[in-house]
Structure 1
Amino acid sequence: MRGRDEETGEFLDISRSQNRRAALDVLALGEKLVSLTPAQLARLPVPEDLLPHIAEAKRITAHIAHKRQLAFLAKHMRREDDAVLDAIRNALDANSETSRREVATMHRVEDWRERLLKDGDKALGALLDEYPHADRQELRTLVRNAQAEKAKNKPPRAYREIFQVLRTLLLPAALGLEGVNASSDDDLDDAVDTDTDGDENAED
């Protein structure tokens, strides 16, 4: 039977149901870690001693064996301080928010590209009002080239280049990374966790 604090009347220990909920919460966190790519995992404050157990759970695909390995991982995770697990959860939440903002920005990039191709200088003026540091001449040239490509059924090189230029222009501001050198995709991808395949799909 659990004891109570004489002054507050609160229970002094944790109930079995609370223990079970905490264990299931850690198990769910372990499943999230196993589902991440190596690059995503590397951005989290995961203790070194947990990494081999995560890798092993990734390797095992047989259902029962996989569940057993996840339980083994969770057992090791419960030995970590609560502060360590909270730091992992906070980092995951931050990455999720970053991903949502990035996806929203990719849609804006696509919208701006279509506006530029449809309305030309009018759309370009509106873009420059919002992003005055954009290169007017570069974008105007790319838009004209993209329109010519479409008219002549040529490969959409300029069309793709417009996407990359707009991505470099819009994404740092959306993620609060205006100070980051975003002159190339490599610089930008080093600053945020981007999904290259997703970007390529978005521009096709």
Structure 2
Amino acid sequence: MDDHSQDEDFDAERGPSKSQVKRDMHALLDLGRQLIALPGAKLAQLPLDEKLRDAIALAQRITSHEGRRRQTHYVGKLLRQADADPIRQQLAEWANGSREQARSMHRLEALRDRLLAEDDALTQLLDDFPALDIQALRSQIRAARKEARDNQARQPAQAPARKHYRALFQTLKQLDFEDDTPDGHATGNH
């Protein structure tokens, strides 16, 4: 064996380096901060033991900067004894889900705006969803366009009407989008 492989074996026998242990502790401290920032309803969904759950609840109630800092460190210390992987996975799922939901809502808003601006968008949507009730959809689009024209005639202090604009969005939300392409055009189940 060469000297380099012996050093690797020696490190493997000693365990993680001090630097790695410190990085792991800081990661748990950051995880504790994330947990403290969560609302109670989300915390209730996480697999936390009672002691950790109580420590997080106390940290959320503390208003003193130094007291909260110490309690946050205590939460990080308790996380060393907990299985942090399922907690991290759930937090990541929530974060990714929220981003995906936001992207989906933005795509629907863009589709609604295209439907209101151009007639060709309706033709494309009907190609993607041939089972759509075309009369009802055209009626909603006409009502939303009329609402937009009426809003332009309103005084600046008056709030714009959004009833038909929102109703069209709700109709689009009901569509089953199978594949969303990057250009914003969605294809549906045929």
Distance 1:162 1:22 in 2: 49
Cα deviation, residue 20, structure 1:
1.7
Q: Greater CA deviation, 62-71 or 42-51?
A: 42-51
Structure 2 residue 30 is the aligned partner of structure 1 residue 28: yes
The answer on whether the counterparts of 1:34 and 1:57 sit within 8 Å (CA) in structure 2 is yes
1:105–1:170 CA contact under 8 A, matched in 2: no
User: Unpaired runs of 5+ in structure 2?
Assistant: 1-5, 152-159, 181-190
- How far residue 14 of structure 1 moved from its aligned partner, in angstroms, is 3.5
TM-aligned CA distance change 1:136 to 1:62, over 3 Å: farther
TM-score by length of 2: 0.74
For residue 7 of structure 1, report the CA deviation from its aligned partner: 10
1:82-93 to 2 correspondence within 5 Å? 84-93=83-92
- Tell me what 2:21 maps to: 19
- Percent identity of paired positions between Structure 1 and Structure 2: 37
| Deviation of 1:171 (Å) | 7.2
Structure 1 residues 12 and 56, CA gap change in structure 2 (3 angstroms): same
Check 1:116–1:37 CA distance in 2 against 1; reply closer, same or farther (3 A cut): same
By how many angstroms is 1:118 displaced? 1.1
Aligned to 1:166: 172
- For the residues of structure 1 that align with 2:114 and 2:8, how far apart are their CA atoms? 68
* Structure 1: runs of 5+ lacking an equivalent: 175-204
Q: Which amino acid aligns with 2:86?
A: A
Q: Verify the 8 A CA contact 1:57 1:69 in the aligned structure 2.
A: yes
The equivalent residue for 2:115 is: 116
1:183-202 residue pairs with structure 2 within 5 A? Answer: none
Distance 1:160 1:25, change over 3 A: same
Matched, 1:67 2:69: yes
Counterparts of 2:21 and 2:123, CA distance in 1: 60
Q: Deviation at 1:169?
A: 2.6
Q: CA RMSD in A?
A: 2.7
